[in-house]
Structure 1
Amino acid sequence: MRSLLQKSKKALPWSLVALVSIMFTVLVLLPAAWFSPLVAQATGGRVSLAAPAGSLWHGSAVLMLAAGPKASAPTALAGRIEWHTAFGPLFLGQAKISMHANEAMSEAVQLIMTPRGATLSSGRLDVPASLLAGLGAPFNTFNLQGEVRLQWSDWRLLGDKPFGQLMLSLNNMSSRVSRVKPLGSYRVVMQALGRDATLELATTKGPLLLDGRGQWAKQKFSFRGTAQAEATERENLRTLLNLLGNRIEHDVYALVLDL
């Protein structure tokens, strides 16, 4: 009996090493497919990762945008998003992930996650406007075409409160519901302030003039703005203006959205 106990004590360290090795191997080989449902759940089905390949540590997938979990026609970003998770920071209680979109993102961004929150480094993403159709109305109604650039400052998430600035540049936009091409170029700036956020829309150039301001407060979004056309294209854009909102004064239409 004593001999058996002694042998067990000698074997215990090696058993622990074997167990740790097995657990480490399992972690390293965790398939990227395990990560996809987490992204979809965190974004309410609006962002998802399709065709995942590799592992949680080094993998890639196709970025999909949709209006929600039941959307029937999500749209895909050209190319694939690749990520690499550093192992060392895990010992400090951090998950450090480097991400890069091989066709849409000029430089990689860093995502650092801790038990208290997360930080996404500043970056830029260039995509075609057709990708926005996956977000649903009103984007799928107008079938927008043009160039879209998404830029953001360091984005911080403290608990469930986001902080940061995001700027969306819509350049040389056109729509299937209007023969006027291009309609114009626009800038949307969103400022996240924790529980609340603000949004500003402005026209940088073009015959279709859009402006307005929105706010998220108490989990509700409200936007108020106006749409009008330059005199030279007023008649050609009248149909589009009527689709955008109700006329509130001579040749000025209201942009109203409440969610």
Structure 2
Amino acid sequence: MSILSNLKSPAAWWSGGMAATTRWMESTLEVARWENMRKAGRRWGWWGGALGALMGLVLYSPASWLAQGLVVLSDGRLLLAESQGTVWNGDAVVVLTGGPGSRDARALPGRLNWTLRPRLTGLNLTVQQDCCVPTPVVIEVRPGWGRARIAVSPSGPVGHWPAAWLTGLGTPWNTLQLGGVVRLSTNAMAVEWVHGRVRLEGQAQVGFDDVSSSVTTLDRLGSYRIDLVGDPEGRVNLSLMTVDGALQLSGQGQVGLNGLRFRGEARANESERGALDSFLNIIGRRMGDRSVISIG
């Protein structure tokens, strides 16, 4: 009877078949949607993992990476040894060396501390060291296309270092074995690299206070000053002068595309000429009672 009823009612049979087909299609589409969502979730998971790994790499980059970068920039003459922490917050022992192949090295006492922070215009590096840079100094780095600018703030005293630290650079410092203090101060100083050319803006002053040397029997050679001034052509003009002392130093020089060129001379006060004779022979070419210093 039900068979006859279905035969007499084709519309009902057709609608039932369509409903079954529709349910099957909806089920298939639902499975496809779920599969697509699963694949999309997997893709987003991979992207999220990669982004998280990248952020972790950036945020927790080891301090040794910064140390290696400084080795490259200084041609192996300035090292951050025993570095700890990250690129962004770390500390290390600062060492001067004579460069690749040199056995000379001299470390500063204590550890240099730094923080590196990104800014809209570049990076701000803040450094401080109890022995030599007691007041934090900010070095602003502004990279650009084919150029980079480094500015030091605030203006004024930057730090002071033992002159004996220079023996780490090798010859002639390891022969002279200097004593005393080296001081650096700046006035709106900035160094800019433009397509391989270096330009100094502002001024800097390097003081050598109460200098002594193991080469002479004198307890004190004197105090000296080097003034560095940038010019509009991108050159750095420097002048050496004597503040006081038995050893009289003077000279003029310039740092440009061809490196450093300096011409100067050293003389001894008449009363200490005998004690300074060996020292004058080492630092330059003797011409009578004076020693001519020539670089470049």
TM-score by length of 2: 0.78
Identity %: 28
Encode CA deviations 1:174-232: one digit per residue, 9 max, x unaligned: 11110111011111122345753222111101011011112223323222111111222
Would you say 1:205 and 2:244 are equivalent positions? yes
State the distance in 2 between where 1:10 and 1:136 align: 61
Q: What's the secondary structure of 2:116's corresponding residue? A: strand
- Match among 113, 117, 124 for residue 158 of structure 2: 124
How many correspondences in the alignment?
254
Indicate conservation of the 8 Å contact 2:222/2:243, yes or no: yes
Would you say 1:156 and 2:191 are equivalent positions? yes
Indicate conservation of the 8 Å contact 1:109/1:120, yes or no: no
Unaligned 5+ segments in structure 2 are: 1-31
- Report deviation, 1:155: 2.2
Would you say 1:57 and 2:95 are equivalent positions? no
Q: What's the secondary structure of 1:166's corresponding residue? A: strand
Unaligned 5+ segments in structure 1 are: none
Distance 1:10 1:61, change over 3 A: same
State the distance in 2 between where 1:217 and 1:86 align: 32
Q: Aligned ranges for residues 1-259 of structure 1 at < 5 Å? A: 1-10=32-41, 12-13=43-44, 15-87=46-118, 89=119, 92=120, 94-116=122-144, 117-122=148-153, 124-153=158-187, 154-159=189-194, 160=196, 161-164=198-201, 165-193=203-231, 195-249=234-288, 251-258=289-296
Higher helix share: 2
State the distance in 1 between where 2:53 and 2:169 align: 42
Q: What's the secondary structure of 2:133's corresponding residue? A: coil
State the distance in 1 between where 2:140 and 2:293 align: 38
Q: What's the secondary structure of 1:214's corresponding residue? A: strand
- Over aligned residues, Cα RMSD in angstroms? 2.2
- Report deviation, 1:31: 0.7
Larger Rg: 2
Indicate conservation of the 8 Å contact 2:104/2:169, yes or no: no
TM-score by length of 1: 0.88
Indicate conservation of the 8 Å contact 1:177/1:240, yes or no: yes
